[in-house]
């Protein structure tokens, strides 16, 4: 089984998100200021993508003519993938914490 480095995973998620949104890579991104900042930023981005997907879905359901079903589905899948990655990182952190707490000193 391959071990996933959470920092690399979050950095890659942010990079792909920026590429998908057409944003340039920021020089002062939270990846340079520590894991806690990176985790906080990733959680905020996940929340933002979920809110955006919800808004698009609601607008589509209300019959907005400028929103396509494909756009809604892509936004929902991005939000789902982002949430799954954050959940996996959380699970890994909890597992690491439990391993540390079970160590004998």
- 38 pLDDT band (50/70/90 cuts)? confident
pLDDT, position 35: 81
pLDDT at 8 over 80: no
pLDDT at 33 over 50: yes
Please answer whether residues 4 and 90 qualify as being in contact, where contact means their C-beta atoms are separated by less than 8 angstroms. no
pLDDT, position 51: 95
CA–CA separation, 51 and 46 (whole Å): 9
pTM: 0.63
pLDDT, position 29: 55
């Amino acid at each position: 089984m391959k071990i996933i480095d959470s920092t690399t995973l979050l950095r890659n998620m942010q990079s792909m998100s920026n590429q998908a949104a057409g944003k340039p890579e920021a020089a002062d991104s939270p990846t340079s200021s520590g894991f806690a900042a990176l985790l906080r930023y990733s959680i905020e981005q996940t929340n933002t993508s979920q809110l955006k997907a919800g808004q698009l879905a609601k607008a589509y359901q209300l019959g907005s003519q400028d929103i396509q079903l494909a756009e809604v589905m892509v936004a929902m899948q991005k939000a789902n993938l982002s949430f799954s990655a954050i959940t996996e990182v959380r699970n890994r952190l909890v597992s690491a914490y439990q391993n540390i707490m079970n160590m004998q000193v």
